[in-house]
């Protein structure tokens, strides 16, 4: 196989809108610059959709829906399986593409390729296991039959932080269930989605089943809203920030759409007095530094029992201080840049606020000199609970540590947020692990582990972190309606 270079992967990606099986330019010829966050310079340009292009994409999805729903489940499953294998074969290309447009290191991008591809393998197996049930009504007079049918044309809006996996987690179950799609990737990271659409085309996905439109950040709302309000659309699935999710849910209420929302998080990371400190620090490195902290699952608040806090913070600061920053494509680099200047400035402002309110910087705490949107891996001790970062997603490589004395205090602190995506807890006491897992108001809990994402598990949040689940047995249900047929004897 030829060597994978920056130029070769960028040249190989189609740059147009993908509508009804055709690649095409946007109606008004506008394009979007895709920047390299490590340099701030443009890598390439892709087509931008107009309102009419958005409508054309939905037209194509609607036209393809009936035939697609009739396709044998085995065929849909085999297609997903072929796509899984092809992504795996082309892992280096996908990894390079993500590193270039998003900034994460190649090692992290390879991890995302493996994780993202697994959703296709998982849902290739689920496609043939869709079933209904049959029962006798309590009065014995009628029979009750239920069947599962695809929801119908679905709009998928995805974020920039996991350009592949946030797509496959939606596209996989939609293909398995028999739904057609319009996908809008984040304006910063469209290349991975375009490469994925092309790969699915090569695997034989029929025209119109998957359509991809890109929009500029300025035109996104104007192009998406008419689609969400179009009576032919049956479902909206969104991964992104809570404020945007709220506004999309309002728009979706017009057509009473099926809605799945994977929104922001503010994960607490609890270390109890009986925890194994080395294991907790390993978990903290994963929960904090995966994706440079730019993950909805990133540990945002570290609550450590006062008896362990100094030992834990010092060990974490040593590990964080030893990380090497740099362009994600370079060997030996552990931490890439943040996605853009705005993201980097937000992290910087949150650290300044915490320090002004009394936090101590154990390591990091600054913007390094030079190009790119880098921020130093940072550990803060004695972070007061009124610091802004206790309420807001940091979305960067900053670990704020606060102490607690009792289990009741730990739970109160952990649940004191509008979010409810994931919580992490470290303890060797099984009964404490169960009691705490039950008391945490979160959709997911990691016990003695700093990572919960798994294609075989239901991923999702409660409260302002969203509704619905992706992955697991639950993931395909989001794309299926239950129809009940009553049969008189």
Q: How far is the CB of 209 from ligand NAP (least distance, A)?
A: 21
Q: How far is the CB of 215 from ligand NAP (least distance, A)?
A: 5
Name the nearest CA neighbour of 277 among 312, 327, 324: 312
User: For the stretch 145-160, what's the b/e string if a residue is b when 16 or more beta carbons lie within 10 angstroms of its beta carbon?
Assistant: eeebebbbbbbbbbbb
3-state secondary structure string across 222-242: HHHHHHHCCCCCCEEEEECCH
**DSSP 8-state class, residue 485:** E
Closer CB to ligand NAP, 13 or 263, in the complex: 263
Residue 35 has φ and ψ, to the nearest 5°, of: -95, 155
CB of 264 to ligand NAP, least distance (A): 3
In angstroms, the CA 98 to CA 95 distance is 5
Contacts to ligand NAP by CB under 6 A: 157-162, 166, 184, 186-187, 215, 217, 220-221, 224, 239-241, 244, 248, 262-265, 296, 393, 421, 461, 466
- 325 vs 422, beta carbon nearer ligand NAP: 422
* Contact in structure between 406 and 432 (CB atoms under 8 Å): no
Rounded CA separation 100/37 (Å): 8
Cβ closest to ligand NAP, residue 374 vs residue 395: 395
CA distances from residue 321 to 163, 264, 300, 364, 377 in whole angstroms, order as listed: 28, 27, 18, 7, 7
Find the shortest distance in angstroms from Cβ 302 to ligand NAP. 18
| Secondary structure in 3-state letters for 270-302 | EECCCCCHHHHHHHHHHHHHHHHHCCCCCEEEE
**Given the residues 101, 126, 262, 470, the one annotated as active site:** 262
Contact yes or no for 219/48 (Cβ under 8 A): yes
262 is annotated as an active-site residue? yes
- The count of C-alpha atoms lying within 13 angstroms of the C-alpha of 46, restricted to the half-sphere facing its C-beta, is 32
- Going by C-alpha positions, the residue among 305, 307, 281 that lies closest to residue 399 is 281
Q: How far is the CB of 285 from ligand NAP (least distance, A)?
A: 19
Residue 164 tokens read as 């592949």
Q: In angstroms, rounded to a whole number, what is the distance separating the alpha carbons of residues 429 and 80?
A: 42
Nearer of residues 260 and 313 to ligand NAP, judged by Cβ: 260
Pick the closer one to ligand NAP by CB: 170 or 319.
Answer: 170
Residue showing the smallest CB distance to ligand NAP in the complex: 240
Q: How far is the CB of 171 from ligand NAP (least distance, A)?
A: 15
**CB-based contacts of 412, cutoff 8 Å, min separation 6:** none
Minimum CB–partner distance for residue 184 and ligand NAP (Å): 6
User: What is the set of active-site residues?
Assistant: 262
């Amino acid at each position: 196989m030829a060597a994978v270079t920056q130029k070769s992967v960028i040249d190989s990606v189609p740059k147009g809108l993908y509508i009804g099986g055709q690649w095409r330019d946007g109606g008004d010829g506008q394009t979007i610059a895709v920047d390299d966050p490590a340099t701030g310079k443009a890598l390439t340009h892709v087509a931008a959709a107009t309102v009419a292009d958005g409508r054309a994409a939905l037209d194509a999805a609607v036209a393809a829906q009936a035939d697609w729903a009739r396709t044998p489940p085995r065929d849909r499953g085999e297609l997903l399986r072929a796509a899984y294998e092809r992504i795996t074969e082309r892992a280096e290309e996908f990894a390079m593409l993500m590193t270039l447009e998003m900034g994460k290191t190649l090692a992290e991008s390879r991890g995302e390729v493996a994780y993202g591809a697994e959703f296709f393998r998982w849902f290739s197996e689920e496609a043939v296991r869709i079933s209904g049930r049959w029962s006798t009504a309590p009065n014995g007079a009628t029979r009750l039959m239920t069947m599962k049918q695809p929801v119908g044309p679905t709009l998928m809006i995805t974020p920039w932080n996991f350009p592949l996996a946030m797509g496959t987690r939606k596209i996989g179950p939609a293909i398995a269930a028999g739904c057609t799609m319009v996908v809008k990737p984040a304006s910063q990271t469209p290349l991975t989605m375009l490469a994925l659409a092309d790969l699915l085309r090569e695997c034989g996905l029929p025209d119109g089943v998957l359509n991809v439109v890109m929009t500029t950040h300025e035109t996104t709302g104007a192009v998406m809203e008419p689609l969400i309000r179009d009576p032919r659309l049956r479902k909206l699935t969104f991964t992104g920030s809570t404020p945007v999710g709220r506004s999309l849910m309002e728009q979706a209420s017009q057509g009473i759409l099926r809605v799945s929302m994977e929104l922001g998080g503010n994960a607490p990371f609890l270390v109890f007095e009986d925890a194994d400190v080395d294991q907790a620090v390993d978990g903290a490195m994963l929960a904090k530094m995966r994706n440079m902290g730019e993950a909805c699952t990133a540990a945002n608040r570290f609550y450590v029992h006062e008896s362990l806090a100094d030992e834990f913070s010092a060990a974490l600061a040593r590990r964080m201080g030893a990380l090497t920053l740099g362009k994600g494509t370079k060997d030996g680099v552990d931490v890439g840049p943040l996605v853009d200047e705005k993201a980097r400035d937000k992290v910087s402002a949150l650290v300044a606020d915490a320090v002004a309110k009394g936090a101590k910087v154990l390591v990091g705490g600054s913007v390094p000199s030079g190009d790119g949107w880098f921020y130093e891996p940072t550990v803060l001790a004695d972070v007061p609970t009124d610091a802004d970062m206790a309420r807001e997603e940091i979305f960067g490589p900053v670990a704020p540590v606060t102490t607690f004395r009792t289990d009741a205090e730990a739970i109160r602190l952990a649940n004191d947020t509008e979010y409810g995506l994931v919580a992490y807890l470290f303890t060797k006491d099984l009964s404490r692990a169960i009691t705490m897992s039950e008391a945490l108001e979160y959709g997911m809990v990691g016990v003695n582990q700093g990572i919960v994402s798994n294609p075989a598990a239901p991923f999702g949040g409660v409260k302002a972190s969203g509704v619905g689940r992706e992955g697991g047995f639950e993931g395909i249900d989001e794309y299926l309606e239950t129809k009940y047929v009553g049969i008189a004897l």
